[in-house]
């Protein structure tokens, strides 16, 4: 299993622990405040946990030494992001006016092209 590997660096383990604990705290406090409004936000904002989530997530991503390339999942997630971007662009179609077709095309194509560019740069060894 991926979490039982014994070749983690101490920096990676610390960043992973900080990321996961901050993320779980944020989600837990957010859900608690969502279902019981004011229960958490009267004392502090649950959004305070977002900064450690982002910073430790970036740290964890930079500390990882051993990675696997899951191209199928990357393409599925990029197609899902394309679908979400296209839905958002479609909901804003009145603002785009006569350029709605180009906005929808750009919203759908951009995440897929970004993944393909990342793949091509990895194959060249940069």
CB atoms within 10 A of CB 111: 20
Q: Is the pTM of this model over 0.85?
A: no
Quickly list DSSP for 46-59.
GGGGHHHHHHHHHH
In this structure, the answer to whether residues 44 and 86 fall within a common structural domain is no
Domain that holds residue 28: 2-63
In total, how many domains does the chain have?
Answer: 2
The Cα–Cα gap between 45 and 38 comes to 10
Decide if pLDDT at 126 tops 60.
no
Q: How far is residue 87 from each of residues 11, 79, 107, 109, measured CA to CA in Å?
A: 40, 12, 9, 13
In this structure, the answer to whether residues 7 and 52 fall within a common structural domain is yes
For 79, the token pair is 């197609």
In this structure, the answer to whether residues 11 and 35 fall within a common structural domain is yes
The Cα–Cα gap between 63 and 1 comes to 19
Residue % of the chain over a pLDDT of 70: 87
């Amino acid at each position: 299993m991926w979490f039982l590997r014994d070749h983690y660096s101490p920096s990676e383990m610390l960043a992973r622990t900080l990321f996961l604990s901050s993320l779980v705290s944020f989600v837990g406090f957010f859900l608690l405040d969502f279902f019981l409004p004011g229960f958490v936000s009267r004392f502090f904002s649950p959004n305070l946990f977002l900064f450690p989530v982002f910073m430790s997530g970036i740290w964890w991503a930079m500390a990882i030494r051993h990675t696997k390339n899951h191209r199928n999942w990357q393409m599925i997630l990029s197609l899902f992001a394309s679908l979400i971007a296209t839905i958002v662009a479609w909901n804003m179609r009145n603002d785009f006016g006569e350029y709605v077709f180009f906005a929808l095309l750009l919203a759908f194509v951009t995440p897929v092209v970004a993944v393909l560019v990342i793949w091509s740069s990895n194959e060249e060894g940069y």
